[in-house]
Amino acid sequence: MRGKRMLKTGGLIALWIVVALFLLFPFYYAVVSSFREGSAIFEASLWPANPTFANYEAVMTDQPFAKNILNSLIVAFSVVVLSLGLATFASYAFGRAKFKGRRLLLYTILGVSMFPQVAVLSGLFEIVRLFGLYNNLLSLVFSYMIFTLPFTVWVLTSFMRDLPVEIEEAAIMDGASSWTIVTKVFLPLLAPALVTTGLLAFIAAWNEFLFALSFTLTNEQRTVPVAIALITGASQYELPWGNIMAASVIVTVPLIVLVLFFQKKLVAGLTAGAVKG
């Protein structure tokens, strides 16, 4: 009996190790490679023989990578703040107010997110040009909301719907306006949902490539994914793997930090509403 149970536990641990390796090894290899220089990068070993920061230095000096990171941060934070702000009020209307065409409008919003990015790219490009936003970070903030708003609105609407009506009515009896109800009563209750959707929106904006590539021209306006993709070597025959790996590690770290920081709220947000209580 005992042997059987140990076998079972052992099997389970082995399975976890395999899963963890599968998920983490690519990132581990990127980290390790980023500390290797020159041809050492093609050595098949698990640990760099002579770890060096040369790649990191090169990334930061060969191009305005710090500026690119800053751009990405500005764009991603603006997208998160704007989408959450708009989505909170939209979800109050969708979740609480009764009006004609509510379903239609909700599905239209969902429909927006169904178009592949390439399909809207040329049209969006014209709009960006029309507003004179080409090669401007605002064009990215604007276009990213196409994919962040539908899901923030939908997720927050379903959360808003689950908030007890009586709490809202109690606030109404207390003399609260709709604005006060949303900002003072509902917003704090939606915090877990806001963290979850905000983080997802942040990641989506942080990683976006196609729009960022199409709507920016100069190195100074690029966001990180584009900057990394456009890192070039000394000649067209050289792909500077070391620099690319170093850059990838740099841009992954903020995401990991964010997720770890909000971990507790994140799990609460992902599972809230699943079980009553």
Q: Which two tokens stand for residue 259?
A: 């997720």
Q: Kindly tell me which of 112 and 187 has the beta carbon lying closer to other proteins.
A: 187
Q: How many CB atoms lie within 10 A of CB 251?
A: 19
180 binds other proteins (CB under 8 A): yes
Specify the stretch interacting with other proteins by CB under 8 A; choose among 126-134, 182-190, 213-221, 222-230: 182-190
CA angle (204 as vertex; 130, 135 as ends), nearest 5:
30
Q: Does 185 bind other proteins (CB under 8 A)?
A: yes
Q: Judged by CB, which is closer to other proteins: 49, or 275?
A: 275
Residue 67: Cβ-neighbour burial (10 angstroms; 0-12, 13-18, 19+) = middle
Is 255 a binding residue for other proteins by CB under 8 A? The answer is: no
Q: Which is nearer to other proteins, 95 or 225 (CB)?
A: 95
Question: Which of 3, 101, 164, 277 forms a contact with other proteins (CB under 8 A)?
Answer: 164
Q: Which of 167, 229, 257, 260 binds other proteins (CB under 8 A)?
A: 167
Q: Does 173 bind other proteins (CB under 8 A)?
A: yes
Binding string, 10-39, against other proteins, x = CB under 8 A? ------------------------------
Picking from 259, 261, 247, the residue whose alpha carbon sits closest to that of residue 63 is 247
Nearest 5°: phi and psi at 275?
A: -120, 135
Q: Which of 169, 239, 259, 267 contacts other proteins by CB under 8 A?
A: 169
Could you list the residues that contact other proteins (CB under 8 A)? Answer: 164, 166-167, 169-176, 180, 185, 188-189
